Structure 1
């Protein structure tokens, strides 16, 4: 495995992104066993706890599975299992971008409110780490889209509602996000980053109404940017 040490210890999200990229490139194939935790920790120059967090996140995304006494393996595509999930139902419907935004504006403010009410110190630390990673990506001139997706997924996890986790996973899937990839700009990146800071602060402090409002304002702002650009492009 050709990996790069992560930029800061505790940044398990960077490990997640590197392993996902290796799966996408075919360097890791279904059924392949990941190296043991100790070896991964050395390869990425992080602690074993950080590696465990990364593996947990990959398992939650159904990319790997841990088998007792055997190790962690890349999962094979299981169309029957995927089609049975709520995410699969949503994706098969191939919603329009406007439909996606309308759904997100209904669902994600409530997710943020529940996260502010229920988030544990542990999940808050993971959310803050994802925000730090997004900021570093934006400062490097990258879109930060993967970190954006990770942060919204963690907020859903913090809400304590597994249905919301499935819905957010579907609404942030790659094929939907790719529709606006060409519309990414520094304006959108900075707006997303600033809004995420406000949301995370409200969740950290347990401010339910502020978290809900901050998420709604964020989605409305991004929606306005996306569709303003779409209109100007004549698409």
Structure 2
């Protein structure tokens, strides 16, 4: 087996940190001095490793502004089509079906694998979601909702699931924001949504993977069924209005 040079070892270690989600797309790496001390390597060796990562398109450097992780890992999922799908009403059902599969799997593995640090992060993000619901701040709630689900993906310790969630960030964010807005406009209280998220969290914290997956899927199913009811009520309302017009003749 080929013996890796020091620069190759540093490059591999940094790549691992990026793949594992320690450094995310858009994140700025620590200053070279701090990074070199953390990795216990010389700054010249570190600089060569950073140049190698930049050549691969994994990092981009700014003159005097540090080194940043590019969107290389998520670029293929940041297609304009996904942006349109996230905003197109006719695609909402498809996005919800996708979320059910993805988030159900994330919750399942999070219940199996969450560390103490993961569990603490989940409780923190859930608390932020709870605060946003109390404040009835829909923008804040949609952001907190997404952060909670990203935290679940992180706790799954499945790199493909994690990067899929992060890669589909804009699509899922738009879906959550639109859903919350429409639900509140149709008098669906946050109490139901709060309880559903609480059930997901409790199942993960009690390490019950099947219950966690079921709770995540049940949450999406509730949103799906609610929108079907809303659409049916809208159709009935429009039908009644048309009848009223006919009677006026």
* Alpha-carbon distance in structure 2 between the residues aligned to 1:64 and 1:108: 24
* Alpha-carbon distance in structure 2 between the residues aligned to 1:138 and 1:123: 23
Aligned pair 1:117/2:112, yes or no?
A: yes
Q: Which residue of 1 aligns with 2:233?
A: 232
Q: Note the C-alpha offset of 1:221.
A: 0.7
Aligned pair 1:157/2:157, yes or no?
A: no
Q: Which residue of 1 aligns with 2:202?
A: 201
TM-score by length of 1: 0.63
Higher helix share: 2
Q: Which residue of 1 aligns with 2:179?
A: 180
The 1:164–1:90 alpha-carbon spacing in structure 2 relative to 1, beyond 3 Å, is farther
2:75 to 73, 77, 84: 84
TM-score by length of 2: 0.60
Instruction: Look at both structures and tell me which one has the larger radius of gyration over its CA atoms.
Output: 2
What does residue range 96-135 of structure 1 map to in structure 2 within 5 Å?
Answer: 96-135=91-130
Q: State the superposition RMSD in angstroms.
A: 3.5
8 Å Cα contact 1:87-1:166 kept in structure 2: no
Unpaired segments of 5 or more residues in structure 1? 1-56
* Alpha-carbon distance in structure 1 between the residues aligned to 2:129 and 2:22: 18
* Alpha-carbon distance in structure 1 between the residues aligned to 2:178 and 2:202: 30
* Alpha-carbon distance in structure 1 between the residues aligned to 2:112 and 2:69: 36
CA displacement, residues 135-172 of structure 1 (integer Å, 9 cap, x when unaligned): 11111111211111000001011111122123223165
* Alpha-carbon distance in structure 2 between the residues aligned to 1:162 and 1:188: 34
* Alpha-carbon distance in structure 1 between the residues aligned to 2:164 and 2:225: 22
The 1:67–1:76 alpha-carbon spacing in structure 2 relative to 1, beyond 3 Å, is closer
